[in-house]
């Protein structure tokens, strides 16, 4: 039984460590990262973690594929939780989209589900940009600075709570779980 408790504690410590690394990267490097992402997307058309390994020429980024993954995952989670996600009706696979604006540049995250999940940054079409700027579709456009501020606030909240309650809160989605609850 002691080994099981140690493994759970070890798992929770690792979860918290990775979550803190993700938040630290977004808070301290997020603006630089999004500028580099936008620059690469404007050059290439899209960018994901595999591009860092396999593309020739390699993307000119000051961060790793793991950190690019932090950005993709965290930004999509933020969009899903704060404004929802439109879908690309023309795509044959289940998908969702997110749109972020930073310094008058709009970037899109496209996430596709099939035999796995794949996501990447891309440039939205001119038609989509027009709809985001001039129609009710604009509710899906998120200011990147709002995402950074949200991450900073979550980090401050996390530092105020004990480590076990933070992890339990993250795992349960903010629901209180008590001994014997169903």
Over the stretch 73-87, which tens digit does the pLDDT of each residue have? Answer: 999 999 999 999 999
Name 102's bridge partners: 105
| Domain membership flag for residue 121 | yes
Span 30-49, average pLDDT: 95
More confident residue, 16 or 42: 42
Give the chain's domain count. 1
Residue 46 lies in a domain: yes
What is the model's pTM? 0.79
Answer for the pair 111, 93: CB distance below 8 angstroms, yes or no: no
Q: By residue range, what is the domain housing residue 69?
A: 2-155
pLDDT tens digit sequence for 107-148:
999 999 988 889 999 999 999 999 999 999 999 999 999 999
Instruction: Establish if 176 belongs to a structural domain.
Output: no
Cα–Cα distance for residue pair 37/57, rounded to 1 Å: 15
The whole-angstrom separation of Cα 2 and Cα 12 is: 15
């Amino acid at each position: 039984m002691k080994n099981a408790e140690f493994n759970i504690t070890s798992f929770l410590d690792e979860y918290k460590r990775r979550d803190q690394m993700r938040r630290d990267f977004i808070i301290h490097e997020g603006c630089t990262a999004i500028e580099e992402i936008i620059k690469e997307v404007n050059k290439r058309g899209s960018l994901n973690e595999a591009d860092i390994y396999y593309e020739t020429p390699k993307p000119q980024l000051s961060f790793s594929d793991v950190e690019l993954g932090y950005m993709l995952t965290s930004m999509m989670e933020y969009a899903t939780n704060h404004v929802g996600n439109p879908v690309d009706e023309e795509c044959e696979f289940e998908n969702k989209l997110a749109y972020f604006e930073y310094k008058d540049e709009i970037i899109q995250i496209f996430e596709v589900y099939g035999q796995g999940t794949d996501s990447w940054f891309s440039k939205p079409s001119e038609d989509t940009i027009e709809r985001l700027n001039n129609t009710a579709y604009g509710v899906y456009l998120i200011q990147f600075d709002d995402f950074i501020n949200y991450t900073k606030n979550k980090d401050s909240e996390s530092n105020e709570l004990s480590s076990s309650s933070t992890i339990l809160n993250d795992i349960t989605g903010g629901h209180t779980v008590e001994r014997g609850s169903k």
